[in-house]
């Protein structure tokens, strides 16, 4: 971004102070789509050079990539967005990030304070837009409040299980001279709350003579340590180990215990849970994703819930401590029994199951899967225990367009890992611009598009509601084949090489190529 023709300044400005404080607090990367009101900060980023800047063509890619980066790294990334409308373009993925507890600081430029009264076209109530997806919204009204504002932003990201904070900065404040203020900003590691011994006593008493137990893990218990601890407790109680239906990031496969995924539809969840006592370890109680007539919203009655650890609690330590109160729980959890994997018949047409089977064969150790969509999401999570050890990111908040941006952030957070984006074709259209950033940054992302040319989850819901899919209006609202999207051409237009796969053999060949590249590759997997 350095421009030799641009006027050079030696005066320390508010923007310089803001970046110093953000850097001191731990920020090392900024996912950006700036505009005129952010030019002062862009200039300071260029002068400073310590914070990596990643440009995206759409704000929803910035926020989704920040979410993926935060989930994989555990660090606090920045986003840089243009006024209220630019921020609004990124809100959907900040909704997902909020549900994931991702620690993010959003930077939003605002008009100069003396210009706001004129209600220029881009003037908006930024605070009202940011409040629902932010732990705290901080307005930097003067330069001497920058340091305290940044400290408050970092502190806000540590509230409960984590979340985003939003800083709004007027142009005249970041462009004004500024002097260092106070002691600066200190890094603030996220601290989980310990679970009290009294809570462990209550849980142990409830479970002592239980005949049917489910250990439901979520939050920080989705780590490798948490999966092992949850498995050990489930083994000791003769129960089952489940995970919440849309985990922020979970470690699966290898020698880890099998983790069953909580079902989606309310009738399926009720059948899955049966009459078991359900131990909540970092997970929220099972609820219906939508309100369906005739089905309860809370799917497990309160008397059958054992509330061991909330999402903000140290669920891993709580699981280990509780397991220690039961004989035979001192050892490791039972690992998944090794199950063979083999490539499907090469000449046969692709299906979701065969895509999953080939990926089980080829997925490298410690890969990261960014998963969005029902076509391959459920099938993968059902078989993930057969793969090498890996991590999976899912769509925590249900706002569409998360999968591709999260893959961007994950690949930047873990450049040594192979990232695979298992992506449905309908939701991929929301943040397709992610491909450009993958190409620009040379990210090791292999995208597999489940190209069934329809909104499959909506068709499933319609079928359950006895609404005929062949009705002309229903078909018009759920089919995506008039015209069919050419994903290979779209990817190449964004600078990403692509392959079309109609058979298992074509997919296997394309996947081998994609997993060996130092950059991205997209595979259009034609599914029925």
Residues 203 and 280 both lie in one domain: yes
- DSSP secondary structure code for residue 194 in this structure: P
Q: pLDDT category, 337, cuts 50, 70, 90?
A: low
Q: pLDDT category, 329, cuts 50, 70, 90?
A: low
What pLDDT, on a 0 to 100 scale, did the predictor assign at position 330? 57
Q: For residues 412 and 404, give the distance between their C-alpha atoms in angstroms, rounded to a whole number.
A: 13
Residues 374 and 521 both lie in one domain: yes
183: in domain: no
334: in domain: no
Residues 116 and 239 both lie in one domain: no
What pLDDT, on a 0 to 100 scale, did the predictor assign at position 5? 47
**Strand 419-424 to strand 104-110: parallel, antiparallel, or no bridges (unpaired)?**
unpaired
Over residues 187-210, mean pLDDT: 95
Check if the beta carbon of residue 313 is closer than 8 Å to that of residue 196.
no
Token code pair at residue 251: 């470690």
Residues 94 and 126 both lie in one domain: yes
Quick: pLDDT tens for 415-439: 999 999 999 999 999 999 999 999 9
Token code pair at residue 216: 């439901």
Q: For residues 231 and 225, give the distance between their C-alpha atoms in angstroms, rounded to a whole number.
A: 10
224: in domain: yes
Quick: pLDDT tens for 241-256: 999 999 999 999 999 9
What pLDDT, on a 0 to 100 scale, did the predictor assign at position 456? 87
Number of domains in the chain: 3
Quick: pLDDT tens for 353-386: 999 999 999 999 999 999 999 899 999 999 999 9
Check if the beta carbon of residue 84 is closer than 8 Å to that of residue 122.
yes
Q: pLDDT category, 334, cuts 50, 70, 90?
A: low
* CATH number (domain holding residue 415): 3.40.50.970
Residues 405 and 296 both lie in one domain: no
Residues 289 and 165 both lie in one domain: no
Percent of the chain beyond pLDDT 90? 89
21: in domain: yes
Average pLDDT, the chain: 95
Token code pair at residue 352: 């979701």
Buried b or exposed e, range 102-125, using 16+ CB within 10 angstroms: bbbbbbbbbbeeeeeeeeeeeebe
Check if the beta carbon of residue 276 is closer than 8 Å to that of residue 212.
yes
241: in domain: yes
Residues 151 and 283 both lie in one domain: no
Residues 159 and 257 both lie in one domain: no
Identity of the highest mean pLDDT range in 453-462, 464-473, 505-514:
505-514
Check if the beta carbon of residue 266 is closer than 8 Å to that of residue 283.
no
Residues 424 and 461 both lie in one domain: yes
Check if the beta carbon of residue 233 is closer than 8 Å to that of residue 330.
no
288: in domain: yes
Quick: pLDDT tens for 39-98: 999 999 999 999 999 999 999 999 999 999 999 999 999 999 999 999 999 999 999 999
Check if the beta carbon of residue 522 is closer than 8 Å to that of residue 447.
yes
235 alpha carbon, distance to own chain's centre: 30
Radius of gyration of the chain (CA): 24
Q: For residues 237 and 313, give the distance between their C-alpha atoms in angstroms, rounded to a whole number.
A: 22
pLDDT of 452 higher than 50: yes
pLDDT of 8 higher than 70: no
pTM: 0.95
Check if the beta carbon of residue 185 is closer than 8 Å to that of residue 138.
no
Domain hosting residue 84, numbered range: 14-174
186: in domain: no
- DSSP secondary structure code for residue 290 in this structure: S
Over residues 125-149, mean pLDDT: 97
Q: Name which of 122-131, 252-261, 456-465 the model is least confident about.
A: 456-465
Check if the beta carbon of residue 141 is closer than 8 Å to that of residue 169.
no
Residues 369 and 514 both lie in one domain: yes
Residues 6+ apart with CB under 8 A from 146: 14, 17, 18, 21, 140, 173, 178, 181
Check if the beta carbon of residue 374 is closer than 8 Å to that of residue 427.
no
55: in domain: yes
Percent of the chain beyond pLDDT 70? 96
Residues 147 and 239 both lie in one domain: no
Quick: pLDDT tens for 209-251: 999 999 999 999 999 999 999 999 999 999 999 999 999 999 9
* CATH number (domain holding residue 204): 3.40.50.1220
Q: pLDDT category, 7, cuts 50, 70, 90?
A: very low
Token code pair at residue 305: 């819930």
What pLDDT, on a 0 to 100 scale, did the predictor assign at position 4? 47
Q: What angle do CA 75, 76, 78 make, to 5 degrees?
A: 140
Residues 295 and 214 both lie in one domain: yes
């Amino acid at each position: 971004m350095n421009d030799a023709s641009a006027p050079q300044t030696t005066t320390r400005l508010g923007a310089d102070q803001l970046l110093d404080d953000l850097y001191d607090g731990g920020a090392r990367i900024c996912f950006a789509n700036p505009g005129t009101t952010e030019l002062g900060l862009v200039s300071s980023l260029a002068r400073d050079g310590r914070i990596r800047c990643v440009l995206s063509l759409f704000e929803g890619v910035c926020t989704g990539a920040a979410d993926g980066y935060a989930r994989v790294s555990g660090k606090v990334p920045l986003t840089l967005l243009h006024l209220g409308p630019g921020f609004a373009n990124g809100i959907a993925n900040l909704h997902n990030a909020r549900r994931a507890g991702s620690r993010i600081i959003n930077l939003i430029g605002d008009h100069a304070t003396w210009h706001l009264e004129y209600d220029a076209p881009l003037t908006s109530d930024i605070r009202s837009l940011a409040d629902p997806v932010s732990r705290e919204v901080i307005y930097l009204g003067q330069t001497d409040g920058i340091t305290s504002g940044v400290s408050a932003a970092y502190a806000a990201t540590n509230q409960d299980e984590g979340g985003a904070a939003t800083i709004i900065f007027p142009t005249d404040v970041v462009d004004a001279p500024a002097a260092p203020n106070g002691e600066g900003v200190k890094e603030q590691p996220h601290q989980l709350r310990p679970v009290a011994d009294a809570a462990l006593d209550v849980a142990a008493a409830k479970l002592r003579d239980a005949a049917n137990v489910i250990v439901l893990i979520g939050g920080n218990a989705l780590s490798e340590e948490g999966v092992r601890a949850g498995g050990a407790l489930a083994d000791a109680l003769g129960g089952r180990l489940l995970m919440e239906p849309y985990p922020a990031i979970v470690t699966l496969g290898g020698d880890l215990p099998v983790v069953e995924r909580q079902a989606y539809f309310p009738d399926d969840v009720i059948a899955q849970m049966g009459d078991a006592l359900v131990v909540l370890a970092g997970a929220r109680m099972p609820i219906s994703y939508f309100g369906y007539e005739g089905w309860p919203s809370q799917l497990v009655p309160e008397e059958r819930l054992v509330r061991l650890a909330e999402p903000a609690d140290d669920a891993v330590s709580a699981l280990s401590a509780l397991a220690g109160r039961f004989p035979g729980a001192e050892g490791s959890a039972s690992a998944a029994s090794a199950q063979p994997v083999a490539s499907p018949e090469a000449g046969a047409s692709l299906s979701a199951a065969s895509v999953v089977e080939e990926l089980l064969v080829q997925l490298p150790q410690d890969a990261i899967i960014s998963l969005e969509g029902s076509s391959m999401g459920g099938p993968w999570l059902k078989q993930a225990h057969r793969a090498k050890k890996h991590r999976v990111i899912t769509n925590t908040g249900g706002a569409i367009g998360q999968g591709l941006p999260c893959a961007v952030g994950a690949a930047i957070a873990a450049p040594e890992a192979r990232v695979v984006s298992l992506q449905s074709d309908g939701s991929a259209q929301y943040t397709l611009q992610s491909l450009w950033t993958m190409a620009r940054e040379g990210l090791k992302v292999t995208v597999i598009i489940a190209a069934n040319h329809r909104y499959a989850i909506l068709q499933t819901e319609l079928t359950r509601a006895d609404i005929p899919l062949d009705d002309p209006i229903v078909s018009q609202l759920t089919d995506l084949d008039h015209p069919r999207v050419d994903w290979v051409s779209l990817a190449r237009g964004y600078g990403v090489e692509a392959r079309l796969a109609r058979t298992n053999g074509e997919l296997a060949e394309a996947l081998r190529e994609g997993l060996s590249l130092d950059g991205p590759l997209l595979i259009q997997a034609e599914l029925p």
